[in-house]
Amino acid sequence: MGLPLDLSAVISTTLEGILYGFSIFMFGVTLYILKENSRRAGRDLNYKMVSLSVALLVCSTAHMIIDFVRVCRGLVFERDSYPGGPIAFFAQPSESTFVAKNAVYTIQTLLGDGILIYRCYVVWQSWLIVAFPIVLWFWIGVVGVLCVQSASVVPMGAGTVFLTTVGRWITAFYASTLATNFFVTILLAYKIWTTNRRMARARQGSLLPVVRVVADAGMLYSVTLAAALGCFVQKSNGQYVVLDMVCPIISITFYMVIIRIGLAESQRSTDLGTGSGLSVPHHQPTFSYGGGRIGDPARDQAVPMSRLQVHITKVCETDVATLENEGDTGSETDRDRKMAGLEVRNVV
């Protein structure tokens, strides 16, 4: 026996509410991280990231409100007046709240996937690399519009989304956004991983924590989309549950990248400011005096603090033209040191 539609509506709205509350908390932390990092770096607040954070929160809030209204109408206000009762109410694709929530979901998916593609472009600095994901992104927009349009014209009593023409567009939508997320996440992780190898060879640090952050966010979103696609292909009402969970998860994955990288930067700054950087691992900025590294007891005792010099490696992305203009010596070591950069704050 499958999951009843009225029960799935209650479960999905409850789970969405829990995740939505968590996303609100993460939204607040994200704004705090963005503000503190900009203040610490002495630069203006990243209004682009703030605007995207607010846009995702607005979409999640709108979807949550629509789902709450939908449950109230189906189980309370129109329970006895709607033809066929609550089951028929939640099964009807052209019902106004169902159409509205899918429209909001389409917009939020485009926002989330667009942000991911933008991060990929920032890392690669090549439109050619992101050309295919951009084509997929436009296709997702077209399919999303067709999903909403086809659902809005389904006649009363014609069947559920599994039995109408809406089904094929929903399947295409899930598959397209899953492919986009998976492909772009691999591109991001690969670029950061290869950059990390060059940085390690030049002894400039490690970006493996960034790889883990990107991979974790991509994995969370991909698993949720794969579950939604699997449920829909199997014509399971569980897809309604997963679908309502996707909206707050899109926001959570976006906030998660900013928070984790921001906290890592803040911790490094704190370690350097308090002197705890004397024993930091190799992937963190190191303090050096003369030719030796602070942390060697034999050297530390002989180092006069008034002559202490701090050298902090600045990691940046540099193209070939810039290297030539700066008088690159052409040696492999010099080129690796310059090309191995990736400014983490641009990724978020």
3-state secondary structure 264-314: HHHHHHHHHHHCHHHHCCCCCCCCEECCEECCCHHHHCCCCHHHCCCCCCC
Q: How far apart are CA 313 and CA 300, in angstroms?
A: 21
Q: Which residue has the higher pLDDT, 45 or 138?
A: 138
pLDDT at 204: 55
Which of 232, 248, 271 marks a domain boundary? 271
Same domain? 206 vs 147: yes
pLDDT at 307: 41
Banded model confidence at residue 156, pLDDT cuts 50, 70, 90: confident
Q: How far apart are CA 60 and CA 63, in angstroms?
A: 5
Banded model confidence at residue 3, pLDDT cuts 50, 70, 90: confident
pLDDT at 138 over 90: yes
Same domain? 279 vs 262: no
Banded model confidence at residue 126, pLDDT cuts 50, 70, 90: confident
Banded model confidence at residue 267, pLDDT cuts 50, 70, 90: low
- Alpha-carbon distances, residue 231 vs 10, 95, 246 (angstroms): 18, 21, 13
Structural domain tally of the chain? 2
> Rounded to the nearest 5°, which phi and psi values hold at 293?
-100, 135
User: What type of residue sits at position 168?
Assistant: R
Question: Which percentage of the chain shows pLDDT scores above 90?
Answer: 34
In this prediction, residues 8-25 reach a mean pLDDT of: 94
What's the predicted TM-score (pTM) here? Answer: 0.73
Same domain? 240 vs 339: no
pLDDT at 166: 84
Same domain? 168 vs 296: no
pLDDT at 272 over 90: no
pLDDT at 196: 73
Same domain? 262 vs 308: no
Same domain? 170 vs 313: no
List the one residue out of 318, 269, 287 whose CA is nearest residue 41.
Answer: 269
Tokens of 345: 């704050």
Q: How far apart are CA 343 and CA 298, in angstroms?
A: 34
Same domain? 230 vs 296: no
Banded model confidence at residue 213, pLDDT cuts 50, 70, 90: confident
User: What CATH number has the domain bearing residue 80?
Assistant: 1.20.1070
Range of the domain at 309: 275-347
Most confident of 63-77, 204-218, 334-348: 63-77
Same domain? 234 vs 338: no
- Alpha-carbon distances, residue 57 vs 69, 107, 112, 152, 243 (angstroms): 18, 12, 11, 25, 17
Q: Which residue has the higher pLDDT, 124 or 312?
A: 124
Same domain? 209 vs 285: no
Most confident of 230-234, 246-250, 283-287: 246-250
Same domain? 290 vs 259: no
Q: Which residue has the higher pLDDT, 283 or 154?
A: 154
Per residue in 46-94, pLDDT tens? 888 899 999 999 999 999 999 999 999 999 998 888 888 899 899 888 8
- Alpha-carbon distances, residue 232 vs 53, 55, 241 (angstroms): 29, 28, 11
3-state SS, residue 60: helix
Q: Which residue has the higher pLDDT, 211 or 312?
A: 211
Question: Which percentage of the chain shows pLDDT scores above 70?
Answer: 72
Banded model confidence at residue 338, pLDDT cuts 50, 70, 90: very low
Q: How far apart are CA 71 and CA 2, in angstroms?
A: 19
Same domain? 259 vs 329: no
Mean pLDDT of the chain: 77
pLDDT at 311 over 80: no
CB atoms within 10 A of CB 265: 18
Banded model confidence at residue 249, pLDDT cuts 50, 70, 90: very high
Which of 271, 287, 314 marks a domain boundary? 271
pLDDT at 10 over 60: yes
Same domain? 309 vs 330: yes
Q: How far apart are CA 30 and CA 262, in angstroms?
A: 9
Q: Name the region of 290 (left: φ>0; alpha: ψ -120 to 50; beta: rest).
A: left
User: What type of residue sits at position 121?
Assistant: Y
Which of 246, 271, 296 marks a domain boundary? 271
